[in-house]
Amino acid sequence: MDQLVIFEALIYVLRPYQKEAVTNTLVHFRKSNDSAVIVLPTGAGKSLVIAELAKLAKHKILVLTHVKELVEQNAQKYKSYGLQASIFSAGLKEKSLQHQVTFASVQSLSRNVSQLDQFYSLVIIDECHRVSGEDNSQYQQILQQVRTRNPNLKILGLTATPYRLGMGWIYQKHYHGFVRGEADSPFKHCIYELPLRYMIKNNYLTPPNQIDPAVENYDFSSLSTDSFGRYSASDMNTLLNAQTRATKSIIEHLIDLSTQRQGVMIFAATVMHAKEVLGYLPEQCSALITGETKSTERDLLIKKFKNKEIKYLVNVSVLTTGFDAPHVDVIAILRPTESVSLYQQIVGRGLRLDDNKVDCLVLDYAGNDFDLFSPEVGSKKPNNDNEPVQVLCPGCGFANIFWGKVDEQGKVIEHFGRRCQGLLEDIDGDSQQCDFRFKFKECDACGAENDIAARQCHQCGGVMADPDDKLRAALNLKHAMVLRCSGLSGEVFSENKLKVTYFDEDGASCSEVYDFSNQKSVFVFHQLFAKRRKSTPVPAKWLSAAQVTTTDLIAPDFVIAKLHKKFGWQVSEKLFDYQGSFRKADKS
Ligand SMILES: [Zn+2]
Ligand SMILES: [Zn+2]
C-alpha cells in the first residue's frame, strides 16, 4: 500500500488549468481577504487543486465538505503526496484536528465548534454552492468560530455549479469583468472558471454523445416550479401515473441502447417513479439508491456498481455530487431538470475519462432541451421557448447573457434582461456594476431609472410607487380610465409638435402632445422613449418632432387617463415594463 502511495505521488502533475487556478488563488489572497470561488466542471480534478493549495499553506487550514465521500476523496488525494492530514467526520469514525491540514465534514465539525481554538489561515469549502448567507447555518457557525482567532480569515470555495435556483449566484463579481450576484451573496469574487467545452475539447473529459430518443418521451412541460425553482414530488407522481406506458417503453429502449455499455446511471423523478423504473430493469444487475437508503447499503451498492457487478443504477437526486465512477458511459435522464447547471452536473457523472471509454451516451427522456454547453443565465426560464441570448450593452459594450428569443436569422427579438451585468473599474481599481438598464421604471421624485421591482429609489431614496397600487387606485376612481395599451401612433403637426395616441385592445384611445420647441417637453419625451426602442436599445436623440419614427417606439403597458372638466380625457400616467398581477394587452 505504501509503495502505491509513493508511486501515485510521482505521477501527480497539475494540469495547466489546475496550475492557473492555484496561481489565481495565491494572487488573490495576497492582495485581499475577500472570499473567493473557483468554478471547475465536474471531473476537472478539484481535489488536486485543493491538495496543492493545502500543501502550499503555511498555517493550519480546514477543508470542509458536506458528504463523507468527498471528505475521504479529498483527504486521500492530499495524503497521496506523502503528507499527513487529520480527518474530522463522524461518518468516517475519526475526529481529529491535530495536523496542519484537516479534512472535515460540516455536520460533524459544526457540532464541535468549541474544539476550533487555534489559528487557521484558510478555510477551503468544497461543493461551496451549498453555503448560504444565513448566520445560523452549519457553515457560518464554523466560520464565525474560526474568525474569533483570525479576523482576517481567508475563505475559498470550489464548485461546478455557482448558481442555485431560488438563491441565485453564489458570488457577486466575476474576474472577467461582470456582476452576477448581489452584495450579500455568500462569496465576493469568482477568481477562476473553466467551461465544460474546454475540458472536452482538450480531452480532459469524455465527449458526450447526445441522442434524441425517438421513442416516447415524458412531457413535463405542464408542471410549474415553486419559488425555489423546484418541482413537487406529488405533481410529478400525478403526471407520471398518467404516463406509465411511457416508462416501460423508455426502459426497453434504454436497455437496447446499452447492450455494449459498461455502466448506466438513471436519474428518476420521484421515489415512486424510481421503483417503477427498477421493476423494468434486469433484476440481477440493477439497483436503486434514494435519500432513504441506509448508508451501509448505499456504500455497498456503490461499490458493486464500481466493480461492474451492477450495471444499472437508478437514483433520485442523491448521486449528483460526490459520486465518482469513471466507467459510467450511459446517462439516462427521466426527470425534469430545472437549470442548465443541474443538467450539466447530471451529465458530468458520465464524462470522466476511463480506459477504452470513447464517449458517454446521454439520453434525455424528459425533453429538458438544454444545451449542455450553453452558459447559465442565472434566472428562471420565463417561457419554455426561451433560450440564452447575447445582448450587448449600449453603455459599456458588455455582452450580457439573458433569456430571450431569436428569429430565424438568429437576431434577438426579445429578451428578459433588466440591468447590464458589466463591471466597470474606476481609477482606484474599485469596480461597480454598469448602470444601464434595459427595463426600468422611473422614480416619480427624481426621474432616476430603477429596477422594475425596486421599492426604494437607488438615487434619492424615495419610495417607489407600486404600479399595481396605481392601477387599483385608478380603477376605483370615477373620473379615471385605464387603457390596457396595445400600441401607439404619432402625428406631427404645427411644425414641431408630436401628438402621440395610445390605443387599448378594444379601440379606445387617448392622446398627448410633445412640443419639440420646448426643452422640458423634449426632455420628458426622451426620458420615456429614447431607450425604449424596438430596433435597438441604443438611446435615440431626436432634434425635432419629424425625426421621431413612432413605429420604433415601445408603447407603455398601461396608460392612466383622467377626465378634465375643460379638456376631456388627459393622460396622467404611463406604466412601462410592467410586471405585476394585471393582465397586459397583446402588443402589435
Ligand atoms: Zn453596461
Ligand atoms: Zn429618485
Ligand nearest to the CA of 440: 2
Assign 181 a pLDDT band (cuts: 50, 70, 90).
Answer: confident
Whole-number pLDDT of residue 435: 85
Q: How far is the CA of 526 from the centre of ligand 2 (A)?
A: 17
Q: How far is the CA of 522 from the centre of ligand 1 (A)?
A: 25
Ligand nearest to the CA of 397: 1
Q: What is the mean pLDDT of residues 349-375?
A: 87
**More confident call, 223 vs 121:** 121
Q: How far is the CA of 419 from the centre of ligand 2 (A)?
A: 17
Whole-number pLDDT of residue 10: 47
CB 89 within 8 A of CB 122: no
Please check the confidence at residue 128 and state whether its pLDDT lies above 90: yes
CATH class of 204-364: alpha beta
Residue 483: which of 500, 468, 504 has the closest Cα?
504
Whole-number pLDDT of residue 8: 47
Q: Quote the pTM value.
A: 0.76
Three-state helix/strand/coil letters over 300-361 = HHHHHHHCCCCCEEEECCCCCCCCCCCCEEEEEECCCCCCHHHHHHHHHCCCCCCCCCCCEE
Cell digits of residue 313: 443504477
Pair type for strands 328-333 and 360-364: parallel
Sign of the CA dihedral with 447 first, then 453, 459, and 464 last: positive
Assign 324 a pLDDT band (cuts: 50, 70, 90).
Answer: confident
Q: How far is the CA of 424 from the centre of ligand 1 (A)?
A: 8
Do the first three CATH levels of 2-194 and 204-364 match, i.e. the same topology? Answer: yes
Please check the confidence at residue 31 and state whether its pLDDT lies above 50: yes
Whole-number pLDDT of residue 9: 47
* Residues 557-584: tens digit of each pLDDT: 999 999 988 888 999 999 998 888 888 8
Please check the confidence at residue 149 and state whether its pLDDT lies above 60: yes
Q: How far is the CA of 379 from the centre of ligand 1 (A)?
A: 19
Whole-number pLDDT of residue 215: 63
Q: What is the mean pLDDT of residues 175-186?
A: 88
Q: What is the mean pLDDT of residues 366-370?
A: 78
Cell digits of residue 108: 460533524
Residue 247: which of 211, 224, 219, 282 has the closest Cα?
219
Please report which helix (H) or strand (E) contains residue 171, including its range.
strand 171-174
Assign 376 a pLDDT band (cuts: 50, 70, 90).
Answer: confident
Hey, what's the torsion of the CAs at 257, 259, 261, 267, to 10 degrees?
A: 50
Q: Phi and psi at residue 239, in whole multiples of 5°?
A: -65, -40
Whole-number pLDDT of residue 48: 92
Cα separation, 584 vs 367, in Å, equals 30
Q: How far is the CA of 106 from the centre of ligand 2 (A)?
A: 45
Cell digits of residue 455: 421599492
User: Highest mean pLDDT: which of 22-26, 72-76, 238-242, 565-569?
Assistant: 22-26
Q: How far is the CA of 459 from the centre of ligand 2 (A)?
A: 5
Ligand nearest to the CA of 450: 2
A 10 A CB-CB count for 73 gives 19
Q: How far is the CA of 463 from the centre of ligand 2 (A)?
A: 8
> Where are the strands (E) in 438-547, listed by range?
441-442, 449-450, 480-493, 497-504, 509-515
Q: Phi and psi at residue 295, in whole multiples of 5°?
A: -65, -30
* Residues 183-220: tens digit of each pLDDT: 888 999 999 999 888 899 999 999 999 887 766 677 77
Q: How far is the CA of 43 from the centre of ligand 1 (A)?
A: 34
Please check the confidence at residue 7 and state whether its pLDDT lies above 70: no
Please check the confidence at residue 533 and state whether its pLDDT lies above 60: yes
Q: What superfamily would CATH give domain 2-194?
A: P-loop containing nucleotide triphosphate hydrolases (3.40.50.300)
Q: What is the mean pLDDT of residues 126-143?
A: 87
Q: How far is the CA of 178 from the centre of ligand 1 (A)?
A: 9
Domain ranges of the chain: 2-194, 204-364, 387-433, 457-575
Whole-number pLDDT of residue 557: 93
Assign 531 a pLDDT band (cuts: 50, 70, 90).
Answer: confident
Whole-number pLDDT of residue 212: 75
Whole-number pLDDT of residue 227: 61
Ligand nearest to the CA of 433: 1
Q: How far is the CA of 437 from the centre of ligand 1 (A)?
A: 8
**More confident call, 505 vs 588:** 505
Q: Give the chain's mean pLDDT.
A: 88
Q: How far is the CA of 434 from the centre of ligand 1 (A)?
A: 5
Task: State the amino acid at position 7 in one-letter form.
Answer: F
Q: What is the mean pLDDT of residues 476-493?
A: 92
Please check the confidence at residue 515 and state whether its pLDDT lies above 90: yes
Q: What is the mean pLDDT of residues 535-550?
A: 89
